[in-house]
Structures are given as structure tokens and as C-alpha cells.
Chains A and B, each alone.
Chain A
Amino acid sequence: MDEVFITDDQIISPLGFSSEENVKNLRNEVSGIQEISDPDLAPFSFFGAKINRENVAEEFNAIGPLSKYTYLEQLMILAIDKLLKKNTETDFSNTLLVVSTTKGNIDLLKSLGDFPEKRVKLYELARAIQHFFQFKNEPLVVSNACVSGALAVGVAKKMLQQKKYKNAIVVAGDLLSEFVLSGFNSFQALDDKICKPYSKNRNGINLGEAAAAVLIKKQSTKKNAIKILGEASVNDANHISGPSRTGEGLVKSVEKALLEAKISSEKIDFISAHGTATLFNDEMEAIAFHRLGLSRKPLHSLKAYYGHTLGASALLETIITKHSLTQNELYKSLGFSENGVSKALNIIENPKKQDLQIALKTASGFGGCNYAIIFEKKSV
């Protein structure tokens, strides 16, 4: 099988409009979450992470007509545009676009504005992005709940290994919308402050919005590339809105990813976990990592920086993982205080420098889905 690399990346989030700016804010332990009172989003105030819309308009205006693209499309296009400006040699004839989103332009259900009704369809969002850049190949759309962002990287890897394409651009995005806020609130799943992954006093999630993009290639000439060693998804086959109590699907996902990577779990240097800060998710992860013999590996959740950005989260967190590996730097698991899971984890409580070679990224979501992907820093 051909080797596949993530060679470059961009993040558009409340913590900045470049990966570098985002990393800088993580280093400084800055959270993008704040209290929001906005009747267009919810009839209650809540803690969430929202991108400044005026800044987006200003940046987007410089590259395209604002009125022709929805807000989410603007975020995703901005992420890709910044990525491509650093990779001008990218040949579109053998490049595949993979789009990850759970709800896409779902805000159009409330009010269409000047957009046609069909724009709420996820493939129409992908087409709008395709047309903006004049990508030659028909885009793929992955919509698989909260594992989508990393799963889309696995999809791109499989498609590149099938020889048809040389490059893939994976873009992931979701909005902090009234639609998802009302839903998670009806589940009583929202924390009334900034979320506290793995902590005793954790009380639910915050929602956020972001777009992230990566360039995936079969050859890598870039210094800061990471190699995809293995990946797998396994469904819990247990419950549609809660994780398995035993972490079965997550354990099996990691085991299968390790198998493909041809490494043992000892080789993992750190874990970028899902850590939504719900009681059940974090407990399930602790049990799964314990079963896998990974309890002592440094681990963080980034949800207290970004909130849960749904279809974007696992790609956003993959990008931060890439920067961790290439910078030899562990970012703090913000919001953690006292251990609140039954099997203790090695939560990263302070940012630190450490030699890192191999990282595990995991995600779990509604529908019982779990996903694990393992990355190795490219030796230079």
C-alpha cells in the first residue's frame, strides 16, 4: 500500500484564522468559549465558541462574492484558500475534494435568504466549494456524526491508495446553529459554564463552530508532514445516543488501527481524545483506554478551547495533533481539575515540550460510531 501523508493544514476558528494562530492560543491556554446571549441562536444564554462574523466577511470579501456563498461555505472556502496559497503547485486534475460536515447549511432551513431551497443539501455545499476553486473531480461528502472529520481523512487515504488521485483536500466544517443548540439543550447535555473534560465536576458539552482543511498526498516533500499509519471505525452496536459502557467500539477501533499501523500500543506517545465532557462519553473513553493499556499515555481533550465543533472537531483536533508531533509539544487539556473518571488517565495538566513520534486521535459519536487514526511524524 502507498504511504499517505498530511502535508499541510489550515484552521478557521474562534482562536484564529490560521493553524499557527490557533496553536499559539492553545499554548497560551486561551479558550474560544464565552457566554452568548443571542435570540437568533437560542431563547436562553449559553456558553459556546463562535467565530466573529465580521472578520469572516472582511477576509472573504477579498477572495470572492459574499452574497453567493453561505456562511459555512465562506468558512470552508477560506480554510482551503489559505491552504492552497501555501501549496500553489497542487494539480487539480488529480486532486480529490472530501467534505466533512454533519449539518452543513442547516441554518437555511430557518431562512433561505437569496439561496435556492436545494442549497441545504450537503452535496450542494460541496459543489459550491468545488465551483469556487474550479476543482475538476466530483467532491465526496462524508456525514457520519462526530467522527466525520477524522473519518474523512481515512476516506481520502483509501481513495489515494486506490491510485486514481495523487492529492486530496479534506475540508471539515459545522456551524454553531440554533438547530444543534436546541437539540443538545433538549438532551440537557450543555454545560452552563466552560466544559470540563474528564473532571469530577464535568456537566456536559459546549458547542462551537470551525472550519479546517488539510492537504493529503502520497509523497511528501514537506518538512512538517505526518504519515497516516492506520485507521479504523467500529460501531458499538449498543445505543444510538449514548456510548457503550464498556467502550467496546472504541477499543476495537484502536485495536484495528494499531493492527494496520503494525505497531503495539506502547509505541503511542500521546492521545488526542474526544473528551466532550459529558458524563458518559468521558467515562467510556477512560474505560476504553484502560482496556487498551493506554491509561498512562499523555492525553488531552480540546473541547474546552473550541467547544464541540461536530463534523469539524476530529479534523481540527487532527491538525493540532500534527502540530504537537512536529513541534514536540503537548498542549494542556483545558478545563481539567480533579479526576472524574473511574479509570485514571494521564491528563495533560500543563503544556510541555517532549519528544513525540506517534500519536493516536480518537472520536466517538451519535449512532454508536467510533473512529481511531494513528499518525507518525515523518523523519527528516
Chain B
Amino acid sequence: MKNKYFITDFVKFSKQLKTADVDAIQTELKEEYKALAVQYPKFHKMDLLSKLGFIATELLQKKVNFPSDTALIFQNNASSLVTDIQHQKSIQEKDAYFPSPSIFVYTLPNIVMGEIAIRHQLQSENTFFISENFQADLIKNYTQSLLDTKKASASISGWIDLNTEGYNVFLAFISEKGTLPFTTENLQHKFTA
């Protein structure tokens, strides 16, 4: 059977620090945001995982257009752990108990998909998976299922992981346009390469 879907394009970037340094990541993502030259003040309110997703999809959108039913199928290792730790710090000591709603709301991994949906007005399928390593097979099969059943006409699918020592982002735009067939092998290869 001829492959109907293609990896139309993708973005990929990562950082591995020698030690945990959330502030350094924060500073760097702010620079990345400035380099995008877009006006989106909400960026500064986002947690780091959402900032990563924002930057990745801005970069991707320079290369492809997202139809409004573009699905978001993301996966990572650490869920929202960096923000979880931040929230935990605000409740750990009984005499310094100051939980904040603006942090707490980001203690879910799928919030990054919500932020991207708002930014690009995607009223679409969202699913967030967690696993130790990128499961190209799952992401391919799940995305394919949504496309085959017409629940989405395209998808942004991939890996978006953040911990206190760095991050790793690989988001691919899958649609009927392109030359690189959407297969598990090709997805894995682009992730690893």
C-alpha cells in the first residue's frame, strides 16, 4: 500500500547542561523568544515546558501552515516535573506555605498543548503520553489512526522533554504533503539523527 502521509517537516533542538540549572534554561529560552521576533506577551507567563512548545511550533510554522484541525500528539519522560518541583517548594515548609495558581496550572504536561492550541487556534485532538524514551512506534500508530479516521487532517507529533538539566524537543508535522513517508523508521531516524 502506498503511504498516504508524510513527515512534511520537523523541528529539533536540545540542550544538556552539566548540572541542574533551571535559571540558565529560563534565560536561554528568553533569548530564543527574542530571536523569533514575535509579539506574544503571554510567553513570559508560561512555564518552561510551554515555552519550549511555543518556540518549537513558532519555528515549525515558518515552514508549514497548520490547519485548524491539526492534532497535537506529544510524549515525554518527565511530565511536568520541573514545575511540579517548583509547586512542591511552595508548600514544603509549613511556615512558608504559599502555593500559587499561576504555577499550579502548569503542573500538568498537556498544558503546553493548550498553549499551542491557543496560539495557533487549533481546535483539535490532544493526547499526551509519558514514557522513558521516545516511542516512535506508538506516536506513528496513534497519529496514523487519527488521520485515517479523519479526526485530524494533519498532526504535530513528537517528543518534548524537559528536566532541570536540559531539554530535548522533536516535533514533526505530519500531513498528506511531502516526500518523506510517515513511517516508524523515518520518525525514529529523524528523532535520532
Partner-B contacts on A (CB < 8 A): 1, 39, 43, 102-104, 106, 109-110, 120-123, 126, 138, 140-145, 151, 155, 158-159, 161-162, 164, 178-179, 182-187, 232-241, 248-249, 252, 256, 260, 365-369
The answer for the CA separation of A123 and B142 in the assembled complex, in Å, is 18
B84 within 8 A of A: yes
Question: Which residues of B sit under 8 angstroms from A187, Cβ to Cβ?
Answer: 101, 104-105
Q: Are B125 and A232 in contact (CB under 8 A)?
A: yes
Closest 4 interchain pairs by CB?
A367-B114, A183-B104, A141-B130, A237-B117
B81 within 8 A of A: yes
- 14 additional A-B pairs beyond A39-B94, A365-B108, beta carbons within 8 Å, are A109-B85, A121-B77, A121-B132, A142-B128, A158-B146, A162-B141, A162-B145, A179-B84, A182-B97, A183-B107, A240-B118, A366-B105, A367-B108, A369-B110
18 chain-A/chain-B pairs, Cβ below 8 angstroms? A103-B84, A109-B88, A121-B81, A140-B138, A142-B128, A143-B128, A155-B142, A159-B141, A183-B104, A233-B126, A233-B127, A235-B126, A236-B117, A237-B122, A238-B118, A239-B118, A365-B108, A369-B126
Report the nearest A residue to B92, measured CB to CB. Answer: A110
Residues of chain B in range 76-133 having any CB-CB distance to chain A below 8 Å: 77-79, 81, 84-85, 87-88, 90-92, 94, 97, 99-101, 104-105, 107-111, 113-115, 117-118, 120-132
Q: Are A366 and B108 in contact (CB under 8 A)?
A: yes
Q: Are A260 and B130 in contact (CB under 8 A)?
A: no
Question: Which residues of A sit under 8 angstroms from B72, Cβ to Cβ?
Answer: 235
The answer for the CA separation of A158 and B63 in the assembled complex, in Å, is 30
Q: Are A369 and B114 in contact (CB under 8 A)?
A: yes
The answer for the CA separation of A151 and B73 in the assembled complex, in Å, is 13
Q: Are A235 and B101 in contact (CB under 8 A)?
A: no
The answer for the CA separation of A27 and B142 in the assembled complex, in Å, is 38
Most chain A CB within a 10 A radius of its CB, from B91, B94, B135:
B91
Q: Are B115 and A240 in contact (CB under 8 A)?
A: yes
Question: Which residues of B sit under 8 angstroms from A104, Cβ to Cβ?
Answer: 79
Could you count the A-B residue pairs with CB atoms below 8 Å apart for me: how many are there? Answer: 155
Q: Are B108 and A235 in contact (CB under 8 A)?
A: no
Q: A141 touches which one: B113, B114, B120, B129 (CB < 8 A)?
A: B129
Report the nearest B residue to A257, measured CB to CB. Answer: B151
* Shortest distance between the CB of B122 and any CB in chain A (Å): 6
Report the nearest A residue to B118, measured CB to CB. Answer: A237
Question: Which residues of B sit under 8 angstroms from A158, Cβ to Cβ?
Answer: 141-142, 145-146
B149 within 8 A of A: yes
Q: Are A145 and B141 in contact (CB under 8 A)?
A: no
Q: Are A121 and B145 in contact (CB under 8 A)?
A: no
Q: Are B127 and A155 in contact (CB under 8 A)?
A: yes
Question: Which residues of A sit under 8 angstroms from B138, Cβ to Cβ?
Answer: 140
Question: Which residues of A sit under 8 angstroms from B132, Cβ to Cβ?
Answer: 121, 123
Q: Are B87 and A179 in contact (CB under 8 A)?
A: yes
Question: Which residues of A sit under 8 angstroms from B79, Cβ to Cβ?
Answer: 104, 121-122, 143
Report the nearest B residue to A231, measured CB to CB. Answer: B151
Q: A235 touches which one: B84, B94, B105, B117 (CB < 8 A)?
A: B117
Question: Which residues of A sit under 8 angstroms from B88, Cβ to Cβ?
Answer: 109-110, 179
Q: Are B129 and A366 in contact (CB under 8 A)?
A: no
Q: A248 touches which one: B100, B110, B123, B151 (CB < 8 A)?
A: B123
* Shortest distance between the CB of A2 and any CB in chain B (Å): 12
Asked if A121 meets B78 with Cβ closer than 8 Å, knowing A141-B129, A234-B125, A240-B118, the reply is: yes
Q: B130 touches which one: A122, A164, A186, A241 (CB < 8 A)?
A: A122
